[in-house]
Amino acid sequence: MTHSLLAQTADYISYWPLGILAISVIFIVFSIIKLKLHPFLALIFAAVLTGLLTGDLPGMSTENVGLFKSRVALNDTPEDTSNDMLLALKWSLLGFGNTAAGIGFVVALAAIIGTCMLGSGAADRVVRALMNLCGEKHAGFVLLLSGFLLSIPVFFDTVFFLLIPLARALSLRTGKNYTLYVIAMAGAGAITHSMVPPTPGPLMIAAGLQLDLGVAMMAGLFASILPALLVLYMARCFDAKFNIPMRETPGTSNSELKSIVDKKNSELPNLFLSALPIALPVILISLVSILKLIGASVTNTPGFRYLEFFGDSNIAMLLAAIVAIFSLATQMIRESRILHEGVMATLAKALEDPLQTAGIIILITGAGGAFGGMIRLAGVGETIEALANSYNISLILLAWGATAVIRIAQGSATVSMITGVGLMGAVIGDGSGLDYHPFYIFLAIGFGSITLSWMNDSGFWVVQRLSGFTEKETLKTWSVLLTAISILGLVQILIFSKILPLKPETKDVETAALIFEQK
């Protein structure tokens, strides 16, 4: 005998799963905003709460544990369901472990790559190369492109810390365009930070929706181009309208800024090694995905096995991290920055902080996986799908709207992504029932998480304090910009999902599960 807690009859829709979702989301927002609870704890507690409200959870048999990630009927094992509280905790921890195992290594490597690129000067070298290519006259575009590229492997806050001195130094040199420089590089960085793996947020969304990482990466990059052009246009408009002056800010003083742009290229790593940690994972992972889309004529060749190995996200990011660490070690030796303990001890010390940061992110995203799994078990997906079919509600609009509401309510883009992917993963399963490719849902969640950065968002204060803008100026520029990016992203997704659905071949997850049960 089998049953599914998620099943709904054709002529009746239970609204209780929506009540569970509402209670859980309110609990998360209240815990973070009012109780000042860490997002990790808020999400874990919300996952357990969801399980308790659901009740009658399936037992943790080997079959059920194996089917937990898929939207299929779980086997009924009454002998394991005597303690709903314990089951709620066990299912939550299983969801936590699955998610952390899927993204933990890549997140840690991304943190290492970012730190090494900053410490070695590789990131600065990439920006200088772009500046030399385009010329100082096009500095706004260069900063836009720098923020766009560097925020793929490096966290947004880190990229802003890196580029804001350059923006200030350029403004000091030219005597104008400070608002253009700040908004261009910050806006572009915010886009790829939320849209392109292996940054933790989009990486988590891709994992939650069971998307091929290369496909998610390519979709995120292409969908980010038009919003990036919007950023440049709006940055120029803000610069002409507000002309915000460059003010003194904590940290680097104006007198120290000139040394940043006057530093010789010969004192930095060479361009090839500097750009390799960014380019290598993007090329390898995307290439494997492209070849898989071409078909068996390519994937059955002997050479593809080796390419598939190196194109695995874990291996590709590991190779990029090795290159980044090598650049940092070489630069440290060159600049006599090695501690008396030796090169390895110096590197280990340099990587302590980024790994600690990565650990926190892994905890939060793992807790988000627990919450998402419990939402699925609660039957939220089936209820929303039934309502969407009854009222012809766009799932893309639903994904964007749900994520945007959570983002505006509690400020964290990461928490809003976690909630959005938990909801939509329960609704679409493997995506085989959609009329378009599931990467459109991935994009909708990503753009929803960008919406309206304001005073409850840490990113708002990073931009405001380091740029020297007032709170009012930041609201008029940064907050308006991100909302415009989010809306444009939604519009282009709705359009392209109609004219270019790219619906993949139907996956056989549910069929395989039924065969498994029959056996």
> How many structural domains is the chain composed of?
1
Q: What is the pLDDT of residues 504-516, one digit of tens each?
A: 765 444 444 443 3
191 vs 489: CA distance, rounded Å: 10
Structure token digits, residue 404: 């945007």
Q: For residues 468 and 249, is the Cβ–Cβ distance under 8 A?
A: yes
**Whether the predicted pLDDT of 11 surpasses 70:** no
What burial letters (b/e) apply to 455-485, b meaning 16+ CB within 10 Å?
ebbebbebbbebbbbeeebbbbbbbbbbbbb
Question: Does residue 382 form part of some domain?
Answer: yes
Backbone Cα Rg of the chain: 24
Question: Does residue 437 form part of some domain?
Answer: yes
Question: Does residue 6 form part of some domain?
Answer: no
C-alpha 404: how far from chain center: 14
Question: Does residue 55 form part of some domain?
Answer: yes
Structure token digits, residue 277: 């940690």
Q: For residues 113 and 317, is the Cβ–Cβ distance under 8 A?
A: yes
Question: Does residue 2 form part of some domain?
Answer: no
Q: What is the pLDDT of residues 85-138, one digit of tens each?
A: 788 888 888 888 887 887 788 888 888 887 788 778 787 788 788 778 887 778
Q: What is the DSSP letter of 2?
A: B
Q: For residues 508 and 64, is the Cβ–Cβ distance under 8 A?
A: no
Show the beta-strand stretches assigned E in 114-182. none
| Contact residues for 108 (Cβ-Cβ < 8 A; gap 6+) | 355, 358, 359, 362
- Which has more pLDDT, 337 or 497? 497
**Whether the predicted pLDDT of 344 surpasses 70:** yes
DSSP code per residue over 238-253: HHHHT-PPP---SSS-
What is residue 71's predicted lDDT score, i.e. its pLDDT? Answer: 53
94-103, 191-200, 287-296, 356-365: which has the minimum mean pLDDT?
287-296
What would the mean pLDDT of 404-415 be, rounded to a whole number? 82
- Which has more pLDDT, 99 or 492? 492
What would the mean pLDDT of 335-342 be, rounded to a whole number? 74
282 vs 294: CA distance, rounded Å: 18
**Whether the predicted pLDDT of 30 surpasses 50:** yes
Q: What percent of the chain is modeled with pLDDT above 90? A: 21
Q: H or E stretch including 192?
A: helix 178-195
Q: What is the DSSP letter of 475?
A: I
Question: Does residue 4 form part of some domain?
Answer: no
Question: Does residue 3 form part of some domain?
Answer: no
Q: What is the pLDDT of residues 41-51, one digit of tens each?
A: 988 998 899 88
Question: Does residue 175 form part of some domain?
Answer: yes
Helix axes 122-134, 139-150, angle to 10 degrees: 140
312: exposed, middle or buried (Cβ count in 10 Å: 0-12, 13-18, 19+): middle
What is residue 32's predicted lDDT score, i.e. its pLDDT? Answer: 82
Q: For residues 212 and 474, is the Cβ–Cβ distance under 8 A?
A: no
Structure token digits, residue 14: 């239970």
Domain range for 190:
16-518
88 vs 53: CA distance, rounded Å: 9
239 vs 374: CA distance, rounded Å: 47
What would the mean pLDDT of 180-205 be, rounded to a whole number? 90
